[in-house]
Amino acid sequence: MAEPKENLQMEKIVSLCKRRGFIFQSSEIYGGINGFWDYGPLGAELKRNVKELWWHAMTRQRDDVAGLEATIIMSPKIWEASGHVDTFSDPMVDCKGCKKRFRADQIEPQTGIVYHFSGAYDGSKFNPLLNQYPPEFRDAVKSQVLEFADDYKKQTDPSEEIVNALKARALKFKAEFKQDNCPPLTELHKEYSEAIQNKCDNANSVLLLPGKPAESARKTAMQFYQQRGINTPNLLDERTEKLEAPTTCFCNECQSELTEPKPFTLMFKTYVGPVNVSALDYKPDIDPKKLEEWFKAFNEGEKNIAYLRPETAQAIFAQFKNVLETSRQKVPFGIAQVGKAFRNEVTPRNFTFRSREFEQMELEFFIKPDEVVEAICGNVATLSDSQPSTLNPQSNWGWQAWHQYWVEERERFYEGIGLSRETLGVHHQTANELAHYARACTDILFKFPFSKKDEHGNVAGDELEGIAARSDFDLSQHQRFSGKPMGVFDDELRAAWGKLPKEKQDDLRKRYYNHRKNYLTKSAKTSEEVDAALKQADEDANGLAKGQYIPHVIEPSAGVDRLILALIANAYSEVTSTDDKGKSETIYMMKFHPRVAPIKAGVFPLLKNKPELVKKAQEVRDLLRPWMNVYYDEGGSIGKRYARQDEAGTPFCVTIDFDTLGEKPELLDTVTIRYRDDGRQERLKTSELLAFLLSKIR
């Protein structure tokens, strides 16, 4: 299950990304900044294409989705309502040995023998004395000194009699060992007593993995004490414990003990408006007289706190009513947004996969609660009912069918930009993984080069996108925190409700009431709050008869950067060819789907020193340019120009040669089009070129 230390494929991809201008480290000239990445010329085009395609598929090609572009910094109340202020954190553990920090849920279970130590004392003076004894006597000498010291320690004020007795014992011991040249035991005892008084009392445990020598556990423990100022650690009270079951309490890298998990907030804080900078910068040596002033300024600053949004979705909920009123949409409908999100990830890793600044493409698709669907349609489609028609939304779809629909839509989207089903995976979140308000969440995964293998060698993949059925939690929270109604009025529901038999009304009302009650009472702490919550649930349930309800939501939430990385990893291919002389050469090719390819066509005159060829080629370039990104290149041999475009992932190259100019009259105004993936070439009329390319890239 462990991640290979060096992932060759990833190394090649990272290096190609830099070499060809897809992705650079942010602030590289200053040594970079962890978790931040810049997109170079080809990367910027690739990213733009992906976002455009998503936007097209999710909004322009649908009647039921409207777009939004909200600010990155919003009222901090939004993040209180969404729960991010209280709960958006990762449980982190620190390794007590190597000091590295890990996400608690990413620690791999390990087994073995645990070595416990109660502390260590500095043996830098004691050990050289002990080492003057022949090796075979050292253990005995040491235990004698320790015992001697223990006896001595027991006496808070040892009488002369005891001191003499101990001295006699030491002499006897020395006589027994007949080691006249060795330092006297009293000297060892003196050094030991001094060292033990300044010992480090921190207990430490280290896991010894199967097959490793015990010494390696002791060495790791010694490093722990060295970091705590004990130069030559002599470990104390060693005790071992064989583990019955695998544990996640030890570092996967050095096997030292891990700390208890602590939550680390993932939100970036900032301040809006003028802030007294000195208030943010507390210094421990602050003049006590100025402390009150500092607190005042600090509190002023805290009032102006704002957050960089950790997701784009919340703006959609906050603007739900405005969009509804201005777009003439009716539930079911969606609001889509693409934009930056920021998370102060504790361990950014796997290139751009886990970054601190990234982009999301999120849709909130608002649907009727199942009780409302049932009131209007008489039934709610079950998953098996809806399956044959998942392409065509039906009015009797409840949350399950809509959820399934969006999972399939999104899978189709990925396939449509070149990620085949074999490269993708899905993960249906288990009850334990789901947020308390969510009914289901399906993650679409991509098999990245760094994705882990399970015990059967299968790769599940890592998350590209999550599609969550989030009930009416988000709108309800914003209604509660803002005091503004987030419900909708639905004519169809009001008309249908009046025609329902009483028992049906009661049944639907009860189910809706229970759902609202569960949500509303969750945050109620006092008995008054519980009463108010029950009253509100009752009112909400009565709303059904008036055609009122709070919409539920299905949220397909995708990351742009992860998708770019997936497209790059998927496109990367190497071809090694050997010439007649046995010399082999490896060339790289990015096999992007034409829809996402940063450059759609390379346009080349066969020779750059023939003005008539150059002129014609530039005409072709100008013909295509308004419609797509083309790259005009007249430098080097045609083969070199093809190779450059192959590395950039350009799917088509168009060459203008003498036949284009009519050298062979039947080929006048035709061009050669060369396909990247198989090197095939064919002739096409210049007048048909644009339509041909558009059919491939759209």
- Are 236 and 118 contacting, i.e. CB atoms less than 8 angstroms apart? yes
C-beta closer to ligand ATP: residue 355 or 570: 355
Torsion over CA: 140, 142, 145, 150 (sign): negative
Q: What is Dmax (Cα atoms) for the chain? A: 124
Rule CB under 6 A: which of 350-379 touch ligand ATP? 354-355, 358, 360
Binders in 53-112 for ligand ATP, by CB under 6 A = none
Q: Which of 191, 540, 561, 646 binds ligand ATP (CB under 6 A)?
A: 561
Compare residues 331 and 346 and give the one whose CB is closer to ligand ATP: 346
Question: With CB under 6 A, what is the number of residues at the site for ligand ATP?
Answer: 16
Whose Cβ is closer to ligand ATP: residue 316's or residue 654's? 316
**Residue of 94, 122, 191, 345 interacting with ligand ATP (CB under 6 A):** 345
391: phi then psi, degrees, rounded to nearest 5: -75, -25
User: Rounded to the nearest whole angstrom, what is the least distance from the CB of residue 30 to ligand ATP in the complex?
Assistant: 22
In the bound complex, what is the minimum distance in angstroms from residue 323's beta carbon to ligand ATP? 21
Of 464, 486, 508, 671, the one binding ligand ATP (CB under 6 A) is 464
Please state the closest distance from residue 559 (CB atom) to ligand ATP, in A.
2
Candidates 189, 343, 403, 674; binder of ligand ATP (CB under 6 A) is 343
Minimum distance between the CB of residue 268 and ligand ATP, rounded to whole angstroms? 12
Picking from 6, 2, 204, the residue whose alpha carbon sits closest to that of residue 110 is: 2
Helix (H, G, I), strand (E, B) or coil at 181: coil
Chain positions 394 to 423 lying near ligand ATP, rule: CB under 6 A, are none
Pick between residue 224 and residue 406 the one whose CB is nearest to ligand ATP: 406
Q: How far is the CB of 335 from ligand ATP (least distance, A)?
A: 16
CA separation, residue 406 to residues 412, 414, 466, 659 (Å): 10, 12, 10, 50
Token pair recorded at residue 383: 């998953």
- Dump strand ranges (E) for 470-570: 488-489, 548-549, 552-559
Considering beta carbons, is residue 556 or 605 the nearer one to ligand ATP? 556
463 binds ligand ATP (CB under 6 A): yes
Exposure string (b/e) for 432-454, b if CB count within 10 Å is 16 or more? eeeeebbbbbbbbbbbbbbbeee
Separation of alpha carbons 179 and 174, rounded Å: 6
Please give the DSSP secondary-structure letter assigned to residue 176. Answer: H
Stretch that binds ligand ATP, among 105-113, 209-217, 463-471, 582-590 (CB under 6 A): 463-471
| C-beta of 445 vs 488, nearer to ligand ATP | 445
Shortest Å distance, C-beta 565 to ligand ATP: 9
Count CA atoms within 13 Å of residue 677 on its CB side. 8
Instruction: Write down the least CB distance from residue 360 to ligand ATP, Å.
Output: 5
Q: Which is nearer to ligand ATP, 252 or 360 (CB)?
A: 360
Question: Left (φ > 0), alpha (ψ -120 to 50) or beta: where does 483 sit?
Answer: left
Torsion, CA 98, CA 101, CA 103, CA 109, rounded to 10: 10
Q: Name the residue nearer to ligand ATP (CB basis): 464 or 590.
A: 464
Find the residue with minimal CB distance to ligand ATP.
559
Looking at the Cβ atoms of 552 and 562, the one nearer to ligand ATP is: 562
Neighbours of 251 (CB within 10 A): 23
Q: How far is the CB of 358 from ligand ATP (least distance, A)?
A: 4
Is 645 within 8 Å of 632 (Cβ atoms)? no
Binding ligand ATP (rule: CB under 6 A), the pick from 369, 559, 649, 651 is 559
DSSP, collapsed to helix, strand or coil, labels residue 8 as helix
Query: Shortest CA distance to 463 belongs to which of 444, 480, 447?
Result: 444
Closest approach of ligand ATP to the CB of residue 432, in Å: 14
Least spacing, CB of residue 566 vs ligand ATP, in Å: 10
Q: Are 648 and 20 in contact (CB under 8 A)?
A: yes
Could you tell me the smallest distance in angstroms from the CB atom of residue 455 to ligand ATP? 22
Site string for ligand ATP, 539-558 (x = CB under 6 A): ------------------xx
Residues 76, 301, 466, 605: which binds ligand ATP (CB under 6 A)?
466
**The binder of ligand ATP chosen from 374, 409, 411, 465 (CB under 6 A):** 465
> Reduced to 3 states, what is the DSSP secondary structure of residue 271?
strand
Nearer to ligand ATP, 24 or 152 (CB): 24
- Of 316 and 508, CB closest to ligand ATP: 316
Give the span between the Cα atoms of 474 and 435, in whole angstroms: 12
SS3 label, residue 125: coil
Q: Is 141 a residue that touches ligand ATP (CB under 6 A)? A: no
In angstroms, the CA 565 to CA 461 distance is 13
How far lies 107's CA from each of 91, 103, 257, 348, 571, in Å?
11, 7, 12, 16, 31
Query: What is the token pair recorded at 352?
Result: 């751009």
Q: Is the Cβ of residue 166 or residue 464 nearer to ligand ATP in the bound state? A: 464
Tokens of 63: 């009647």
**Paired tokens of 110:** 């390990």
Please spell the DSSP secondary structure of 577-607, one letter per residue.
Answer: EE-TTS-EEEEEEE---TTT-S-SEEEEES-
Q: Looking at beta carbons only, is 20 or 356 nearer to ligand ATP?
A: 356
What tokens does 515 get? 């759902």
- The residue (of 463 and 538) whose beta carbon lies closer to ligand ATP is 463
Q: Which is nearer to ligand ATP, 76 or 466 (CB)?
A: 466
CB contact at 8 A, 205 and 116: yes
The nearest distance, CB 397 to ligand ATP, in angstroms, is 23
Q: For residue 648, which of 606, 695, 610, 598 has the smallest C-alpha distance?
A: 598
Q: CA angle, 513 as apex, 509 and 514 as ends, to 5°?
A: 120
Rounded least distance, CB 269 to ligand ATP, Å = 17
DSSP string, 275-321: --HHHHS--TT--HHHHHHHHHHHHHHHHTEEEB-S-SHHHHHHTHH
Nearer Cβ to ligand ATP (411/465): 465
The distance of closest approach from Cβ of residue 362 to ligand ATP in the complex, given in angstroms and rounded to an integer, is 7
- Is the bond preceding 109 in cis, omega lying within 30 degrees of 0? no
Residue 619 token pair: 């005409």
Q: Judged by CB, which is closer to ligand ATP: 36, or 271?
A: 36
Q: Is 448 in the site for ligand ATP (CB under 6 A)?
A: no
Among positions 562, 616, 621, 676, the unique one binding ligand ATP when judged by CB under 6 A = 562
Give how far Cα 326 sits from Cα of 319, 330, 335, Å.
11, 11, 12
In angstroms, give the least distance from the CB of 1 to ligand ATP. 17
Query: CB of residue 344 vs ligand ATP: minimum separation in angstroms?
Result: 9
Pull the structure tokens for residue 165.
Answer: 């007795």
Which residues contact ligand ATP (rule: CB under 6 A)?
311, 343, 345, 354-355, 358, 360, 463-466, 557-559, 561-562
